[in-house]
Amino acid sequence: MLKHLSLAWRLLLRDWHVGELKVLVASLVIAVASMTSIGMFTQRINYAMTDQAGQFLGADLLLKSPQSIDDKIIDRAKRSGLKITSSISFSSVIVAHDEFQLTHIKAVDQYYPLLSQIKTSKTQYGDEKSVDFGPPQGEVWLAPRLFSLLNLKLNETIELGETRLKVTAVLKHDPGQASSFMSIAPRLLMNRLDVDKTGIIQPGSRVTYLAGFAGEHAVRKQFEKWLSPKLSSSQTLAGGTEGSQAINSAMQKAEQYLSLASMLSVMLSGIAIAMTANRYGQRHFDQSALMRCMGASQKTVIQIFTLQLFILGLAGSLLGCLFGFLTQEGLIIILKEFLAPDLPSPGLYPLITGLISGFVILTGFSLPALLRLKSVPPLRVLRKDITPLPVSSWFVYGLAMSSLVGLMWWQSGQLFLTLLVVAGVIASVVLLLILSFILMQLSRAVLSVLSGPWKTGLQQIIRHRKENQLQMLAFGLSLMILMIIFLLRTDLITRWQGQLPDDAPNHFVINIQKNEVTGVNQFFSERKIKTEGLYPMVRGRITKINNVPIEDAVPDKSKLDNSLKRDLNLSWATKLQENNQLLKGEWWSSSDVGKPLISVEKGLAKRLKVNPGDSVTFKIAEQSIQATIQSIRSVQWDSFQPNFYIVFPESVINDFPVSFISSFFIDKSQKKQLNELVKQFPTLTVLEIDAIMEQVKSIMEQVTTAVEYVMLFVLLAGMMVLIASMQSSMDERVHSAIIMRTLGAKKSFLIRSQVSEFSMLGFFSGVLAITGTEMIAYLLYTRVFDLNFEIHYWLLLAGPLLSVILILFISQLYMKKVTEQSPLKALRYS
C-alpha cells in the first residue's frame, strides 16, 4: 500500500485546486475543532467547578462519618501526597453568665482549612480579617449571634462540658459552613486538642468526624475513585461538582448548550463531508476508469483513494486539533476571572480524541462515495453512460449514522441529548421532505399565474424537481440548525440575565422567631427594603414512605441521599410559590387547610420514587406525622429565594417549633442597615450572599461570551453545507447557463432568471427551515433546557429572507463567471 503513497499524495495535491477537497477539509477541520475545543473547555470548566466547590467546603474532598475515620484512609491519602485535615463536629450546650445555649461545635486541627480562609472580627459588626488557621488551644471563636444570646464580650470565657475556654474572636465565616448553610444552632470553632478536656465525647455520643483532603486534580480523582466504594452507608464524601446551586445550574445549561452546538456542528460537517465526498467520487469515476484502463487493479485504485482519505483525515484532524486548542485557549482567556490560574493543561488526550474523531467522521461520511470508485468498470473510458453500481443505502446511512451517534455520545457523554438530536434531525428530514413535496405541488399550481424570469426560474426548479428538493432539504436543514442554535443562545442568555436582575435578593435572614415576624416585617417596610416575604421553617426528617421504613422504601441508589440523612426544612404555604411550577397533582384549596397533605419537589420525588397519593411519615420534634402527597412541583433553585423540598398546607405543622426565613435585597451603600437589623433582633442570623451573587453574575457574563464564541462553529459548519449543496448542483447550472448565453440569451435575462430561480429556492428552503426550527425548538426548550417556549414570529419573515440572501450570495460566487466571461472562455473553463 505504501508504494502508492507518493502517487496518492501527488494526485491529491493536483486535485487540491479543484475546490471540493477544500470544502471537505474545511468541514473536517470545523468538526474536529468544535469537538476538541468544547471537549477541552468543558473538562477545564469541570476542574474549575471542583475548585470552586473546594472553596465552599474548605477542602477539595470532605469525608463525613459518624465513626472516627479509619487510619487506612488517612494513610492512603498521605501516601498519595494529599493534604489532610481532621475535625470533629457535634452539638452541645455552652454556658456563660448563667445563660445556656445549644451550639453547633466544630473542633479543628492545625491544618484547617486546607482551602480558602476563615473570616473573623474583633466586634460583632466590625471589619473582617481573614486567617489561615483555626483558634489555638484554649481559645474559641463564636458566631455573632452567640454574643447576644449569652451577653458575651470578647476575652470572656465560656463553659463547655468540663472545661472553660476563652472567646478571642467573632466567627464571621467558616469555609465549611456552606454544607450546613441552614443549620439553626449558632456555630463555635475550637481547637481539636481541647476536645478531650471537655469530656463531652463519650461512647455513643452523636458526633460527626470530618476529614478534608486537598491536592492535585488527578491525585484526588484517583483517591476519590479508591475511597468511594469503601464508604459505608452512613459515610458521605462531598466534593466533585458541588458548589453554588445557581452556578451549577447555569454551568450545566451552558455545558448542554455547548455539547448541543458541538453535536450539531459535527452533524453539519458530516453532511458537508458526505456531499463533497459524493461529488468528489463522481468526478473521479473517469479517473478511476482510466487508471483501471492503464492497468491499475481494483485494489490499487481503492488503496490510492483510501490513502488520499487518510492524508486528508490526518491533515484535517491535526489542523482541527490546532484550531480547537487555540479556540479553547481563547475561551479560557475569556473566562480567566472564573478559572483557577493553575488548571492542569489539557494534555495529549484531546489531541488523540480529535484525531480519532476526525477519522471516524471522515470515514463514516465519505467512505461509501469512495468505495464506489473501486467498482468503476474500465469500459467507461469508451462508454460514459456506464456508472458503478450504487452502494447499498443501508450501508451508506448505517455507516454515517452509527459513526455520528457513536461520536456524539462519546464526546458529549450525554446519551439522551445525542438521541434527541439524532431523532430530531431524522424527524426534521422526513418533515422537510414532505413539506418540500407540498411546496413543489403548490409551485405547479402557481406557475400559470407567473410570467417573465419568475416563470423561467420556477420552471427550472420544477424541471429539476428531484435535485432541487434535495438541495432545499440540505439548505433548509442547515439553516434550521443555525436558527435553532441562535434562538437557543438568545433565549438562554435572556433567561440568565432575567434570573439575576439587579435587585435579586442578595441576603438571607434566618432564625426569625414567631414573635419577631411582625417586627422584622415592619423593619423592612420602614426602610423600603424589598423582601421575598417570610417563610416558615420547621425541621423534620423523613422516616417512612407508605409506612415502610425509609431505608427499605427507597431505591438503592437513593439510600445515600443527603436528604434522608439530615433534617429537612419543611414549610407551609397557602399559595404556590412564584418560581415553583406544579408538575403533577393539584395545589390545595382553602378547604384543605389543616389536612395532612404535602407538595414535594420533583428531584426529591424522583429520588424517593414517590408520586401523588403516596404517604410520607416525618419525625418532627420527636413526634411522628403522616401526610399524603398531593402534588409534585419544580423549584427554581437558582432564584436566590427561599425554596423548600416539602410544603404543607396551613395549620398542619404550625404548632411545631418554627423559625422563619426571608431573603432581601440591599445594595452596598445600605449595608449598615444590617447592623441595625441584628442589633434590633439579636437572635437572627444574616447570611450575606452578595459576593457570591457578584461572582455568579460575572460567570454568567463570561459563559454568555463563550456560548456566542462556540456558535461560530455551527455557523461555519452550516456555511460549509450550504456551499457543498450549491457546489453539487452548480456544474450543471453553470453549463446550462453557458449554453443559453451561447445561444444568444442576454446577460440581463440570465441574471434575472438566475436571481428568480435562486430566490425561490431560497424562499422554499427558508419556509422549510422555519417550520422545522419551531418544532425542534419546542422540544429542546421544554425537554432539555427547561425554557418557556413561544413562537418566534419575527423569524417567519427573517428566516426566508435570510435564506434568499444566503443562497443568492453563494450562487453568485459560481454564476459570476458565466455572466462576466465571454461564452467561449466560460465554455472552455466550465
Partner 1 sequence: MAALDNPSGGMLDILSGVNLEIKSAESIAIVGASGSGKSTLLGLMAGLDQPSSGDVYLGDVSMSQLDEDGRAALRGDKVGFVFQSFQLLPSLTALENVMLPLELQSSQSAENTALNLLNRVGLSDRLHHYPKQLSGGEQQRVAIARAFVTQPQVVFADEPTGNLDKKTSQHIIDLLFEINREKSTTLVIVTHDESLAEKCDRCLTLENGVLTNA
Shorter beta-carbon distance to partner 1: residue 406 or 823: 823
**What's the CA gap between 342 and 329, in Å, rounded?**
14
Q: Tell me the Cα Rg of the chain.
A: 34
Shorter beta-carbon distance to partner 1: residue 294 or 348: 294
* Closest to 791 in 3D by CA, of 783, 801, 805, 781: 781
Q: How far apart are CB 828 and partner 1 at their closest, in Å?
A: 6
Query: Which helix (H) or strand (E) covers residue 506, if one does?
Result: none
Shorter beta-carbon distance to partner 1: residue 8 or 710: 8
DSSP SS3 for 510 = strand
**What's the CA gap between 405 and 415, in Å, rounded?**
9
Q: Check: CB of residue 237 under 8 Å from CB of residue 231.
A: yes
The three cell numbers of residue 830 are 466550465
Instruction: Give the helix, strand, coil percentages of the chain, each rounded to 5.
Output: 60, 15, 25
Q: Give the CA distances from residue 573 to residues 502, 536, 570, 599, 656, in Å, rounded to whole numbers and listed in that order.
A: 27, 8, 10, 10, 15
Q: First and final CA of the chain: distance in angstroms?
A: 35
CA 677 from chain center: how many Å? Answer: 39
Shorter beta-carbon distance to partner 1: residue 7 or 184: 7
**What's the CA gap between 84 and 109, in Å, rounded?**
10
Shorter beta-carbon distance to partner 1: residue 16 or 416: 16
**What's the CA gap between 110 and 324, in Å, rounded?**
45
Q: How far apart are CB 387 and partner 1 at their closest, in Å?
A: 15
Q: How far apart are CB 278 and partner 1 at their closest, in Å?
A: 17
Sites of contact with partner 1 (CB under 8 A): 3-4, 7, 10-11, 14-15, 17-18, 286-287, 290-300, 377-379, 381-383, 828-829
Helix and strand counts by DSSP (H, E) for the chain: 23, 23
**What's the CA gap between 95 and 400, in Å, rounded?**
74
Q: How far apart are CB 825 and partner 1 at their closest, in Å?
A: 10
Q: How far apart are CB 4 and partner 1 at their closest, in Å?
A: 8
Shorter beta-carbon distance to partner 1: residue 299 or 336: 299
**What's the CA gap between 828 and 830, in Å, rounded?**
6
Q: How far apart are CB 288 and partner 1 at their closest, in Å?
A: 11
Backbone angles phi, psi at 173, to 5 degrees: -150, 130
Q: How far apart are CB 290 and partner 1 at their closest, in Å?
A: 6
Q: How far apart are CB 821 and partner 1 at their closest, in Å?
A: 13
Shorter beta-carbon distance to partner 1: residue 300 or 705: 300
Shorter beta-carbon distance to partner 1: residue 416 or 829: 829
List of residues 6+ apart from 646 with CB closer than 8 A: 540, 568, 570, 571, 598, 599, 600, 601, 604, 616, 618
Q: How far apart are CB 736 and partner 1 at their closest, in Å?
A: 19
Q: Give the CA distances from residue 647 to residues 291, 347, 571, 642, in Å, rounded to whole numbers and listed in that order.
A: 78, 49, 5, 12
Shorter beta-carbon distance to partner 1: residue 381 or 429: 381
Shorter beta-carbon distance to partner 1: residue 297 or 574: 297
Shorter beta-carbon distance to partner 1: residue 14 or 466: 14
Q: How far apart are CB 292 and partner 1 at their closest, in Å?
A: 6
**What's the CA dihedral at 757, 762, 764, 766 to 10 degrees?**
-170
Q: How far apart are CB 309 and partner 1 at their closest, in Å?
A: 17
**What's the CA gap between 679 and 675, in Å, rounded?**
6
